[in-house]
Each structure stands twice: as C-alpha cells, then as structure tokens.
Amino acid sequence: MSESSLTSEALILEAVARIDSETPRLDAELLLSHVTGWSRTSLRAWPERELTAAQLAQFHTLLARRIDGEPIAHLLGTQDFWSLTLAVTPDTLIPRPDTECLVEVALALPLPPNARVLDLGTGTGAIALALASERPPWQVSACDAVADAVALARRNAEQLSLPLRVVSSHWFDDLLPQRFDLIVSNPPYIAADDHHLSQGDVRFEPATALVSGADGLNDLRQIVAQAPDWLDDQGWLVVEHGYDQADAVQALFRQAGFVAVASRKDYGGQDRLTLGQFTR
C-alpha cells in the first residue's frame, strides 16, 4: 500500500467503492471517525491527514465487517435517536429514525402534566428515554422480556442522567397492577416468512425483536387486547407496525374498545403508527 493510500480521503474512497449500502460515504466517514477520533467535519477539512498503522488496521477490520453487512450501529456501539446517543448491542433492535415519529405522536397527545407512561418492549430504551428527555415531569417506565435489554436500557438511562424505571416483563405479564395515561410500543411485527429478514442489517438483529407469527400481528394482538386493563380513563395506546398493517391494527383497536382510532405516517409517507384512546 502506498503512502498516499494512508490519507483519510483515500481510505474513504476505497471504502465507498466496497460498501454496498444506501449511504456508503456516511458509513465510511463514521468508521474512520470512530477509529481516529476525528470528526466528520475535520475529515473533510483535512483530507490529506494520514492514519497510524494501528488506526489503519482497526479501520480495515471494521470495514471488512461492514462489507459483510454488519450494521454500523453494532460496529460503533452507539446509535443516535431523537436528540440522544444510545449504546446498542446485538441483543436489541437498532433504533430506526422512523420510530421518532412515534415519539412525535406521543408528545402531541393531550396528557396530564405528570402523565404515567409505559414503553413495552423497550430494547435500548430509545422511545422511553426520548419521552423522558422531552417531558421531565412525566413518570416514565419501561419493560422488556430480554434480561440483556433491560440492563442496556438501564445503562442508557444512567449515562443520559434520565429517570427511567426498567423492569423485566413480557409485555404486561410480569408487571405489578397499575394504570397508565399512555402506553407506547414498537413490538415485533414482521411475518415469519418475510424475505426482508434475510437482507441488510436485520440479518444481524435478534429475530425475537422482529418476527411475530405467520402474519406479523401476534404481539400486536396481545398488546392491543390487554392494554385497556392497564390504561386509565382517557388513556392512549400508540404502537408502531408494518407499512401494510394499518387496517388490520386499526381493527384490533376497535375490537378492544378504543375510540379516536387513527394511523399516522412515517418519514417515508407510509402508515406506520396507530393510536387510540380508551374511555372507561
């Protein structure tokens, strides 16, 4: 390898040519920034800077893993969501930008100033922590059935200095009896035979966080059916679901007695969220 190939810009161009993703330049810059500690802005401002032998070896190791399809978030160990930087591990789903739409919908609801909120299947804690960061008076709780996810959400809350109570529970199964003003969830909603499961980043994510029965609705059925028992009068349920599941999920809401049932779009214009209010 020549001396010129050790410059940051040459390495980025090499990586761009080899990474098969929608954002190869961004991926390359993030990996190089992670290895060197240089910001993406400085990478562009001083493209002639060279890496040390140790940095170069680390970069090529990470690049090989990215070329193999491993998610950037797993390689960096972090993922930005809302205004937060969250630690991530292969034990949980990587927070997606479209899930920020769920946070936006929840924040716009007519809730009490000290609303009691529950995030079901919290994973990294992304949704719960985003809500806690925006509404400090809210009493935000979260649960997950995976012990490593519970630990990760707790760690993220501690690192961000945000109050979040995280407990171990498969949906409502192991929660103490209580009522909430708002329940939110981004549950598994992919059908078991969906071809997307063998493509892209999801190959490296836990199937338990993605797959939910033959039609992808098993977990949503349970959450929507049981939520009324856990909601206070005028309480709201907001869930994320697949782009083609809005009609089916709305039907589940209405069957469970919810009113004001509606769906909301994600950043790509797809119906990705459904919400409803329960009146006692």
What was the pLDDT predicted at 206? 65
Please give the Cα distance from 57 to 270 (Å, whole number).
Answer: 42
Give 94-116 pLDDT, tens digit per residue.
999 999 999 999 999 999 999 99
The larger pLDDT score, comparing residue 216 to residue 42, is at: 42
- Contact by Cβ (8 Å): 82, 131: no
Query: Helix or strand or coil: residue 108?
Result: coil
How does DSSP classify residue 80?
A: E
Q: Where are the domains of the chain?
A: 3-68, 78-278
Is the confidence at residue 149, as pLDDT, over 70?
yes
**For the segment 168-186, what is each residue's pLDDT rounded down to a tens digit?**
999 999 999 999 999 999 9
Q: By C-alpha distance, which of 65, 69, 7, 13 is closest to 36? A: 7
Question: Domain 3-68 falls in which CATH fold?
Answer: Helicase, Ruva Protein; domain 3 (1.10.8)
Range in 67-76, 190-199, 217-226 the model is least confident about: 190-199
Has residue 30 got a pLDDT over 80? Answer: yes
pLDDT for residue 1: 38
pLDDT at 22: 86
Cα–Cα distance measured from residue 126 to residue 33, given in angstroms and rounded to the nearest whole number: 24
From the candidate CATH numbers 3.40.50.150, 3.40.640.10, 3.40.50.40, 3.40.50.300, the one assigned to the domain spanning 78-278: 3.40.50.150
Q: Quick check: 67 and 19 in contact, CB under 8 A?
A: yes
pTM of the model: 0.88
Q: Residue 254 is encoded by which pair of tokens?
A: 């209405």
> 216: pLDDT confidence band, cut at 50, 70 and 90?
confident
Share of the chain above pLDDT 70, in %: 91
**Total number of residues shown for the chain:** 280
Nearest to 91 by CA among 10, 209, 180: 209
3-state class percentages of the chain: helix first, strand second, coil last, to nearest 5: 45, 20, 35
Q: What is the mean pLDDT of the chain?
A: 91
∠192-253-91 over CA atoms, to 5°? 40
pLDDT for residue 16 is more than 90: yes
Residue 75, pLDDT score: 94
Mean pLDDT of 53-68: 93
Axis crossing angle, helix 100-107 with helix 126-134, rounded to the nearest 10: 40
Q: Are 131 and 157 in contact (CB under 8 A)?
A: no
Do 230 and 185 touch, CB atoms closer than 8 A?
no
Angstrom distance (rounded) from CA 128 to CA 166: 10
Q: Can you give the pLDDT at residue 5? A: 54
Phi, psi angles (nearest 5°) of residue 210:
-120, -45
Beta-bridged to residue 271, according to DSSP, are 265
19 neighbors 58 (Cβ within 8 angstroms):
no
> Would you say the C-alpha torsion 95, 97, 102, 108 has a positive or negative sign?
positive
Residue recorded with tokens 């040459």? 10
pLDDT at 197: 55
The DSSP secondary-structure symbol of 79 reads: E
Top-confidence residue, 43 or 119? 119
At 123 the pLDDT is 95
Predicted pLDDT of residue 93: 87
Per residue in 147-175, is it b (16+ CB within 10 Å) or e — as a string? eebbebbbbbbeebebebebbebebbeeb
pLDDT in tens, 235-257: 999 999 999 999 999 999 999 99
Residue reference for tokens 């390689």:
75
Rg (CA), the chain: 21
